[in-house]
A = this chain, B = another copy of it.
Amino acid sequence: MTPTIKDVAAHAGFSIATVSRAINAPHTVNPVTLEKVRQSIEALDFRPSPLGRQLRGERSRLIGVVLPTIANPVFAECLQGIDELAAAQGFRLMLMTTQYDTERERHAIETLREQRVEGLILTVADADTHALLDDLDRSGMLYVLMHNDTVRRPSVSVDNRLAAFEGVRMLIAHGHRHILMLAGTLAASDRARLRHVGYTQAMQQAGLAPAPALEIDFNADELAPSVLAHLTGSQRPTALFCSNDLLAMVVMRGLRRAHLDVPRDMSILGFDGLAMGELLAPPLSSICSPNREIGCAAWRRLIARIDGSYADASLSLTLPHTLREGATIAAISNGAQAPLVPRAREVNEGATHPAAPSSPYSAADPTTQTAHLPD
C-alpha cells in the first residue's frame, strides 16, 4: 500500500523523526542524511499523509463551498474567483451542490463539518430563516454567504432590492407602464424576493400597479402555456423584468418561438450580468452583479476571519451593481399596447422549431413606433 514515513525511515536507515525533520525542517539535518532520505522518499514515491499532521491539531487548509448548482454560470463565476484565490494561497476546496434543496444544504454543511473544513462559503436558499446558519453561529464555525443578501449574517452580495428598483425605474423611464416580473421558485431564493420588493417599490413610486412575480420553471424545454398566454395575450406587458439572466434567456427563446421580437414587441431586463448574455443577439440588458468579485470578496473575508485579522465590524458587504445596457430594451412612446407583427425573418427562424405554431397575429402596422436605446 501507500508508503508511510516508517517505510522511508527503514529504507534510508534512519528514524522516522529524522525523516520528518528532513521534510519539515531540512536545515536541521545533516546534508548527507538529508540526501539519503530524499532518495528514499523518491524511491518509494512517498508523500506525507495530511492525516498525521491534522491529527496533531494542525490546520486542514480545507475550505468548504456550498452552491445551489454549477449549471448556472452565476455560481460557476463565483467559484472561479474562489478557486483562483484558494489555489494561490494553498487551500483546498471541497465542493457540494444543493439544487436549492434545504435538506441537501443541511447534508452538505454536515458533511463538510465532518471533514473539518476551516470555514465555509455558501449560497443558501434563504439566509434569514436558516436554522443551519444559526447552528454555525452557535458553534463558532466560520462562514461567509455569497449572494444571500442579509445584514444579519456575514455575507457578500449586491443590494438586490435597490438594483431591481433602479432597473425597473429605468424601464419606466423608457416609457414602459405594464411591466411584469418573472422569477424561478421564489421560495428557493431570498434574492428573488428582494428583487421583487425593488420591482414593487419602483412601480408604486411611478404610480403603477405592481403584479405578483410570475414563477417560471426555467429548466423546462418550453414555456408553460399559461405563462405564454400571459406574455402574448391582449393584456400582455411591454417589458419583462427577469429575476436572473438564465431565466431571461429561456424566456427570450420562448418569445422567439411565439414570433415575438425582442425588443420590438417585448423589452427584457435580466439580472446577474452573465458574461454569456453579452454574446446573445441582441445582447441581453441586465443588472450585473460582480460575480467573480463576490466570490473573491467572500474568500477574503472568510480567510480574514479564520486568521483572526477580522477587525471590520460590519457583517455584510454590499458590492456595487452595474447596468449593462445591452439591446433588449426598447423605448416606447406611451404605455399603449403595440400590435404584434411577425416578420419574415422570425417566421424563418420559427421554422427550425417544429413545434412553433403559425403566427396568430395581424399584419404589419406602419404606425408602430419603436426606438432603440441611445448610447
**Which positions in A face B, CB cutoff 8 Å?**
2, 45, 47-52, 54-55, 69-71, 73, 76-77, 79-80, 83, 87, 92-97, 104, 107, 110-111, 113-116, 139, 249-250, 252-253, 256, 275-276, 278-283, 325-327, 348-349, 351-352, 354, 372-373, 375
Check A95/B69 contact, CB under 8 A, given A281-B252, A372-B352. no
Is the pair B70, A80 in contact by a Cβ cutoff of 8 Å? Answer: yes
Q: Which residues of B contact A51 (CB under 8 A)?
A: 51, 54-55, 116
In whole angstroms, what is the CA distance A282 to B345 when docked? 10
Do B80 and A115 touch (CB < 8 A)?
no
Given contacts A71-B80, A93-B95, A281-B252, contact A326 B352 (CB under 8 A): yes
A114 touches B282 (CB 8 A): no
Query: Can you report 30 A-B residue pairs in the complex whose CB atoms are below 8 A from each other?
Result: A45-B139, A47-B113, A49-B114, A49-B116, A50-B115, A51-B54, A51-B55, A52-B55, A69-B80, A70-B83, A71-B73, A71-B77, A83-B96, A87-B96, A87-B107, A92-B94, A92-B115, A249-B276, A252-B279, A252-B281, A253-B278, A253-B281, A256-B281, A276-B276, A279-B280, A281-B349, A348-B372, A351-B372, A351-B375, A352-B373
A52: chain B residues within 8 A (beta carbon): 55
Residue of chain B at shortest CB distance from A281: B281
**Cα(A96)–Cα(B351), bound, Å:** 43
Q: For residue A250, which residues in chain B have a CB less than 8 angstroms away from its CB?
A: 279
- Closest B residue by C-beta to A251: B279
